[in-house]
Chains A and B, each alone.
Chain A
């Protein structure tokens, strides 16, 4: 079955960087985007950006421009999200999700399915 499995929890100090991995299985890794979404405790979902594993092209939410980098290793079907200059407000669960998008007769569509299990990143001194 289609599955995304993420790396384990991380604890980082303010100012450091974190790199979270997302291993895909059950489908052709290069055929679909990988997106990253985060969720602070008790808060809603916040989209961070997307990456096309085939081309390596990326698109980041304006809020994270300059601080986030999304990469991949196609030989092991794994995507990565690195967030730098961490601050306490970055403490959250980070999810990867496969993006399915295209155009149909009514317009553009893009949704997420499935999602990884989430990775808790804690930023604390």
Chain B
């Protein structure tokens, strides 16, 4: 199996841009997905296929991919964006992997 590596924490001030990375050797060959999880709640999909945004997710959430690293960018961070963020990938054999999660703190 393979791993996805995320920084444990990222801190930004309101209105700034937050960037959360996710690294993995398989990412050049596989799509990545991002989930937001607030305390006591189930995860919510915020980015799929590296950079696509589901309906209902604010435009300030975006995703990008470069080599073995994918990045979730939150522009103009708001207090309500404070949450844990997880990246996820999957291969065609049916194996799913999650990153360890990143706690976003809005100062």
Residues of A within 8 A of B (CB): 35, 37, 44-47, 50, 59, 61-62, 95, 97, 101, 103-104, 106-118
Contacts and interface: CB of A to CB of B under 8 A. Distances in A.
B43 interface: yes
Interface string B41-81: 01111001100001000000000000000000000000000
**Interface class of chain B by DSSP:** loop
| Size range of the chain B interface in the assembly | 20 to 34
B36 to A, nearest CB: 11
A84 to B, nearest CB: 22
Contacts of A117: 42
Contact of B90 (A46, A108, A118): A108
B45 A112 contact: yes
B45 A108 contact: no
A108 B90 CA distance: 8
Contact of A107 (B29, B94, B99): B29
B105 interface: no
Interface string B21-49: 00000000111010101000011110011
28 contacts: A35-B96, A37-B98, A44-B86, A44-B101, A45-B35, A45-B37, A45-B43, A45-B98, A47-B98, A50-B96, A61-B95, A62-B1, A95-B42, A106-B31, A107-B31, A108-B31, A108-B90, A108-B91, A108-B92, A109-B31, A110-B90, A111-B45, A111-B48, A111-B90, A113-B54, A114-B42, A115-B43, A115-B44
Interface of B: 1, 29-31, 33, 35, 37, 42-45, 48-49, 54, 86, 88, 90-92, 94-101
Contacts of A114: 42, 44-45
Contacts of B101: 44-45
A95 B43 contact: yes
B97 A47 contact: yes
Nearest to B94: A59
Contacts of A101: 90
